[in-house]
Amino acid sequence: MSVIKQMDNRLANMIAAGEVVDRPSSIVKELIENAIDAQAKEIIVEIYEVGMKKIIVSDNGSGMDFSDAHLAFERHATSKIASEKDLNHIYTLGFRGEALAAIAAVSKVSLKTKMEDSKAIEVIYHGGHFIKDNQTSLNTGTIITVEDLFYNTPARFKYIKSEQAERYAIIDIFDRLALANPKVRFKLFMDEKLVKQTYGKDDFFQLIDQIYGSKITNDMIKFDQKFQNIEIKGYLVSPKITRSRKKDISIFVNHRYIKNYKLIQAVVDGYHSFLMTNKYPIALIHLSMDPQLLDVNVHPQKYEVKFVNELILAFQIEHFIREALEKKTHTISDRYQE
Ligand code: ADP
Ligand code: MG
């Protein structure tokens, strides 16, 4: 007797959700990324009880029409790629069409959205079940409300780390996405208190001060270099201001925040002779390159990317940083000698 059965969509979504949305901060990440992909100029994030009670992300991006507002919840449904060849030049943060389906499978979601020339609509899903849709009123853009996270997957609920750890994780991903998108205005509220905001002025000095606390950019050094068609921009906070961990080193590729041990180490090595042992810098490295030279499709959360020549790139980054810091030190000591 055959025993294998094809899973229904809802069950498949619930299982897949574990990879994309394992904790509140990953939902915050997916929703902000969708707003960025929708060309929003302003993104407001509201968090209640570290996201377990409620997460609201509002944007003034493109919005969706009636049919897309429904399709958005289907797994593997995306407006960002259409064919295999699109996989080689991904400029958007999303493309897998998984996040909304996954989030809707493990929470209660309301999606309110309005495209410029169409009517505003609200679509509601609970635990992967379509509940209803109705007309609503809204300016162009999207508001997604995620409530009672993991209410139907109690095992996941227990797995969530401490409240403090979740709070840090949410602020951390908010910070990186804000630092990756200097032209977008961001606001983060936690339990109705404004925690952070940026002004979207495309000014890294102002942006870094807003994220890490004012005045740290006083002696900041900026460089803009090219290496084999890769543009490498660095924003190096003065080595006088240090951290005891590496976590305030951020690497971005084509406006995507990535976690890459070798490139982070390259930043540490570039600062090496300017810092005391066990002290680490605050620095941003923005890389712009042809998307064909990198593979973002390594893991569902897309923090990891594969570069074609990572080692040489790491070496170059280290070199540019050392050079920029040395130049700065020289200018200062020259001034003393005058
Ligand atoms: P992906 O981002 O990989 O395409 P998602 O499940 O996150 O997959 O979203 C599915 C689709 O829903 C997106 O491709 C996009 O067309 C639409 N969408 C999601 N969020 C927004 C938003 N904030 N504004 C406009 N469209 C959105
Ligand atoms: Mg997405």
pLDDT in tens, 282-299: 999 999 998 888 888 777
Cα 98 to middle of ligand 2, angstroms? 7
Q: What pLDDT was estimated at residue 158?
A: 64
Start-end of CATH 3.30.230.10 domains in the chain? 214-337
User: From CA 122, how far away is CA 116, in angstroms rounded?
Assistant: 15
Task: Say which residues have a Cβ less than 8 Å from residue 115's Cβ, sequence separation at least 6.
Answer: 62, 63, 64, 65, 140
Output the residue whose Cα is nearest ligand 1's atom 21: 34
Q: What is the CATH number of domain 214-337?
A: 3.30.230.10
What atom of ligand 1 comes closest to residue 33's alpha carbon?
2
- The answer, yes or no, to whether ipTM is higher than 0.85 is yes
Q: What pLDDT was estimated at residue 102?
A: 93
Identify which of 92, 100, 106, 142 to mutate to test ligand 1's pocket (most ligand atoms within 8 A of the CB). Answer: 100
Query: For residues 143 and 57, is the Cβ–Cβ distance under 8 A?
Result: yes
Task: Say which residues have a Cβ less than 8 Å from residue 154's Cβ, sequence separation at least 6.
Answer: none
Task: Say which residues have a Cβ less than 8 Å from residue 57's Cβ, sequence separation at least 6.
Answer: 28, 31, 32, 34, 35, 43, 44, 45, 46, 143, 144
User: From CA 60, how far away is CA 114, in angstroms rounded?
Assistant: 9
User: From CA 45, how far away is CA 138, in angstroms rounded?
Assistant: 17
User: From CA 75, how far away is CA 148, in angstroms rounded?
Assistant: 21
Q: What pLDDT was estimated at residue 31?
A: 97
Q: What pLDDT was estimated at residue 155?
A: 73
Identify which of 31, 37, 256, 299 to mutate to test ligand 1's pocket (most ligand atoms within 8 A of the CB). Answer: 37
Cα 140 to middle of ligand 2, angstroms? 19
Nearest of 80, 75, 60, 59 to residue 145 by alpha carbon = 59
Q: What pLDDT was estimated at residue 257?
A: 93
Cα 72 to middle of ligand 1, angstroms? 6
Tell how far CA 44 is from the center of its chain. 14
Nearest of 153, 170, 152 to residue 161 by alpha carbon = 170
Query: For residues 94 and 39, is the Cβ–Cβ distance under 8 A?
Result: no
CB of 36 closer than 6 angstroms to any ligand 1 atom: no
Q: What pLDDT was estimated at residue 295?
A: 80
CB of 73 closer than 6 angstroms to any ligand 1 atom: no
Domain 9-197 has CATH 3.30.565.10: yes
Rg (CA), the chain: 22
Output the residue whose Cα is nearest ligand 1's atom 12: 72
CB of 187 closer than 6 angstroms to any ligand 1 atom: no
The 3-state DSSP class for residue 258 equals strand
CB of 105 closer than 6 angstroms to any ligand 1 atom: no
Residues in the chain: 338
Q: What pLDDT was estimated at residue 250?
A: 97
CB of 316 closer than 6 angstroms to any ligand 1 atom: no
Tokens 């995507």: give the residue.
256
Cα 276 to middle of ligand 2, angstroms? 41
CB of 200 closer than 6 angstroms to any ligand 1 atom: no
| Residue ranges in 72-149 assigned as alpha helix (H) | 99-105
Instruction: List the beta bridge partners of residue 156.
Output: none
Task: Say which residues have a Cβ less than 8 Å from residue 214's Cβ, sequence separation at least 6.
Answer: none
The token pair that represents 70 in the structure block: 């429904």
Cα 19 to middle of ligand 2, angstroms? 14
Q: What pLDDT was estimated at residue 95?
A: 84
Cα 261 to middle of ligand 2, angstroms? 25
User: From CA 83, how far away is CA 171, in angstroms rounded?
Assistant: 35
CB of 16 closer than 6 angstroms to any ligand 1 atom: no
Nearest ligand by distance to the CA of 35 = 1
Q: What pLDDT was estimated at residue 325?
A: 95
Q: What pLDDT was estimated at residue 338?
A: 47
Start-end of CATH 3.30.565.10 domains in the chain? 9-197
Regions in the chain scoring below 70 on pLDDT: 157-159, 331-338
Q: What pLDDT was estimated at residue 130?
A: 96
CB of 233 closer than 6 angstroms to any ligand 1 atom: no
